[in-house]
Amino acid sequence: MKKFRRILPGLALGAAAMALGISAQAQTTSTSSGSGSGSWYAPAGGYIGFSAGQSNYRQGCGTGLFSCGDKDDAYSIYGGSMLNNNFGLELGYIDMGDIARGGGTTEARGINLSVIGKLPLSERVGLFGKVGTTYGSTKVSATPGSGIPAGKEDGFGLSVGAGLNFDFAQNWSAVLQWERHEMKFAGAGREPVHATTIGLKYRF
């Protein structure tokens, strides 16, 4: 139930964003000559998306006296626009969930800005890669004697990612992607948090 309450706002925001995109597309179509919205790789092409999957914290377990997890549910909401046929910008919110660690929990969330590079493999399938920065916010709670520093941290870190895009309808794509975000943790400096997700993307 706790995980559902955490993910529900993201689902609602994603659904609302997609609904707005569909509405905008419908209005555009109704005032046009009936042509499509253009190629996925066309300059000035905008999109919004929602993805969900699994995070991997890969953090240390301290003294090992307490349970130590490393995976949880992850989701992201994002939007972007192509600057030319192959490159664009993307802005999104990521939530890496929380893991049991050191008798407490470790969690990470953030805002990401990335440059996107796209390479079409066929009319419907394409590869993409991205590099940018994530302003992350982390919170660690731990039991004394666990060997894990507790506290809150935030700051910028490097982010990279790659994935596969499949266009299954005129304006809809399925997306499989992997991301790596450097997050600052209390007493540990910057450490990477990974996420592998699948999702939907809507072009307008």
Phi, psi angles (nearest 5°) of residue 61? -105, 10
Average pLDDT over residues 50-72: 91
Kindly state whether residue 182 falls inside one of the protein's structural domains. yes
**Whose structure tokens read 């046929």?**
85
pTM of the complete model: 0.80
Is the model's pLDDT at 2 over the cut of 60? no
The CATH number of the domain holding residue 122 is 2.40.160.20
Is the model's pLDDT at 25 over the cut of 90? no
pLDDT tens for residues 33-48?
Answer: 333 344 555 566 789 9
pLDDT-based confidence at residue 62 (cuts at 50, 70, 90): confident
pLDDT tens for residues 146-201?
Answer: 999 999 999 999 999 999 999 999 899 999 999 999 999 998 889 999 999 999 99
pLDDT at 28: 41
Kindly state whether residue 37 falls inside one of the protein's structural domains. no
Q: What is the count of structural domains for the chain? A: 1
Burial of residue 54 (CB within 10 Å: 0-12, 13-18, 19+) is middle
Pairwise pLDDT comparison (8 vs 70), residue with the higher score? 70
Kindly state whether residue 184 falls inside one of the protein's structural domains. yes
Cα within 13 Å of Cα(165), Cβ side: 26
Kindly state whether residue 99 falls inside one of the protein's structural domains. yes
CA distance 100 to 106: 7
Kindly state whether residue 98 falls inside one of the protein's structural domains. yes
Kindly state whether residue 38 falls inside one of the protein's structural domains. no
DSSP sequence for the chain:
-HHHHHHHHHHHHHHHHHHHHHHHHHHHHHTSSS-----TTSTT-EEEEEEEEEEE-----TTS-S-B--EEEEEEEEEEEESSSSEEEEEEEEEEEEEEETTEEEEEEEEEEEEEEEEESSSSEEEEEEEEEEEEEEEE---TTSS---EEEEEEEEEEEEEEEEE-SSSEEEEEEEEEEEEEETTTEEEEEEEEEEEEEEE-
Q: Which domain holds residue 97?
A: 2-32+43-203
pLDDT tens for residues 75-121?
Answer: 999 999 988 888 999 999 999 999 999 999 999 999 999 999 999 99
Cβ atoms within 10 Å, residue 31: 7
Kindly state whether residue 17 falls inside one of the protein's structural domains. yes
Kindly state whether residue 169 falls inside one of the protein's structural domains. yes
